Structure 1
Amino acid sequence: MSFQGYLKTIKEKTGKGPEDFQALATEKGFVRDGQLQVKATEVTNWLKADFELGHGHAMAIYALLKGLKDQHSQ
């Protein structure tokens, strides 16, 4: 599945897009001053528990939060 495919599926499942997850991660204290402050495990555990995302989908959000990918990546 492409990165955009992951984002599309996440949006369909949760109703939330990249900006929403950025805001939620900031509220949780995972992101401060635009920088991710926690490890991938904390992010994926949160997304799996709160949004029932699978590991690959959770890692896509982690990549966005970490700045490894942007929402327009292929």
Structure 2
Amino acid sequence: MSFQAYLDNAEKQTGISPRAFLGLAAAKNLTKHAEVIAWLKADHGLGHGHATAIARLVTKGPEFVAAHHTDGVLHLDGLAARA
């Protein structure tokens, strides 16, 4: 599964876009990978794989993820923005 697919599926499960997850994590001042994963699992019911993808986005930043995990294109504004 591609990195973007993990983000898209997490949005389908929760109704929260990747960009919104970035904002929520920032509001909670979550910066460590493990604490982001624990929060996503506990509060949003995500499985480990989806939580890990979002945690990487939160802790490394969109630019790093786009450069290292995609073909340079990363969609953060949600599925509806791409429709």
- Shorter-chain TM band: 0.7 to 0.9
The alpha carbon displacement at 1:39 in A equals 2.1
Structure 2, gaps ≥5 residues long:
67-72, 76-83
Which of the two has greater strand per residue? 1
Please give the TM-score of this superposition, normalised by the length of structure 1.
0.78
* Residues 1-74 of structure 1 mapped to structure 2, 5 A cutoff: 1-30=1-30, 38-65=31-58, 66-67=60-61, 68-70=64-66, 72=74
Say how many residue pairs are matched: 66
Q: Distance in 1 between matches of 2:33 and 2:48?
A: 11
Which of the two has greater helix per residue? 2
* Percent of paired sites with the same residue: 48
Structure 1, gaps ≥5 residues long:
31-37
- Which entry has the higher C-alpha Rg, 1 or 2? 2
Q: Alpha carbon RMSD of aligned pairs, Å?
A: 1.7
The alpha carbon displacement at 1:19 in A equals 1.1
Which secondary structure does the structure 2 equivalent of 1:48 belong to?
Answer: helix
Name the structure 2 match of 1:33. none
Runs of 4 or more, structure 1, over 2 Å off, are: none
The alpha carbon displacement at 1:43 in A equals 0.5
